[in-house]
A = this chain, B = another copy of it.
């Protein structure tokens, strides 16, 4: 490994001078600096992030937290997209990303301790059980954090616009003539609460009555439960004319059930999903859904976190809401 010392010897200057030259300090003669840089290049010098971090107290490394227990794992397309964009944006800003977990090897640690242990300059909490004390500890600590889809008091958060998403979906479906709209929703997280509230509010303002038998709890990302809920809805004396699913993937379960019962989409039943994952747009008929702005959310999260890290004094926590986009597919038609 070639260090700053090697360069100093090769150039016949002190280590301090080399360091300054390499970092573009103003008090080094232009030609000296150039000579040193050239020398560094020819020797194949690479800065040592570890040593630098130890010295300056900043690692240029941000942690990312995906706690799988909630089912919000990396293999969910929504989260993998977020991860991808956090990564891309962070790298653009000069930061590496490291996963934060608990219990590294045989050292018992919680998330906060892990982040400290690795000297993370900040962490993006992308998917977690936000009521877990360990998560709360991290998110209310001295470490800069940005949460996704959940807000802690006086903390920065990036939010997918679930209220608007639901509103757009319901409004669209209503505009297509539907009045008997069923909603299969996921586990009662804060995201779900928002979608539920928005569903009800939008229905109310459109003069649609929300029948309790049209509201069924399902499970995110679980086609089976969506299938069962669909079956229940189909067995009602008065069927809905449109079913909203918890998400695009779980819709597959509904799709199967409808097909099985000979109910054609969208002729006999209109449907819509949520998320706007690629799958939804390659299905035929193309699924009507609301695409969450995962890419922008990830990028914003990284951007705001880095800003907070680099300007802690002037930083004001903020909640950024990222709008999605209604994807008008071919699964919602005018009811007879």
List the interface of chain A (C-beta within 8 A of B). Answer: 1, 46-51, 53-54, 59-61, 68, 73-75, 77, 80-81, 83-84, 87, 91-99, 101, 103-107, 109, 113, 116-119, 223-224, 249, 252-253, 256, 259-260, 279, 282-284
A99 touches B101 (CB 8 A): no
B105 touches A92 (CB 8 A): yes
Question: Of B53, B99, B117, B259, which is within 8 A of A47 by CB?
Answer: B117
Name 20 A/B residue pairs within 8 A (Cβ), A-sorted: A48-B119, A50-B119, A54-B54, A60-B105, A74-B80, A74-B83, A75-B80, A87-B101, A91-B104, A94-B104, A94-B107, A95-B104, A96-B99, A97-B98, A98-B98, A252-B279, A252-B283, A253-B282, A256-B283, A279-B279
Copies of this protein in the complex = 2
A282 to B74, CA, bound (A): 20
Give the 10 A-B residue pairs with the shortest CB-CB distance, closest first: A94-B105, A256-B284, A75-B80, A223-B282, A98-B98, A50-B53, A252-B282, A50-B54, A50-B119, A74-B80
Question: Of B46, B74, B259, B260, which is within 8 A of A113 by CB?
Answer: B46
> Please, which residues of chain B bring their CB within 8 A of the CB of A113?
46
> Please, which residues of chain B bring their CB within 8 A of the CB of A106?
94
A253 to B91, CA, bound (A): 34
B98 touches A104 (CB 8 A): no
A292 to B143, CA, bound (A): 40
> Please, which residues of chain B bring their CB within 8 A of the CB of A92?
105
A117 touches B49 (CB 8 A): yes
B101 touches A91 (CB 8 A): yes
Chain B, residue nearest A105 (CB): B94
A109 to B60, CA, bound (A): 15
A119 touches B49 (CB 8 A): yes
A60 to B106, CA, bound (A): 13
> Please, which residues of chain B bring their CB within 8 A of the CB of A61?
98
Chain B, residue nearest A59 (CB): B50
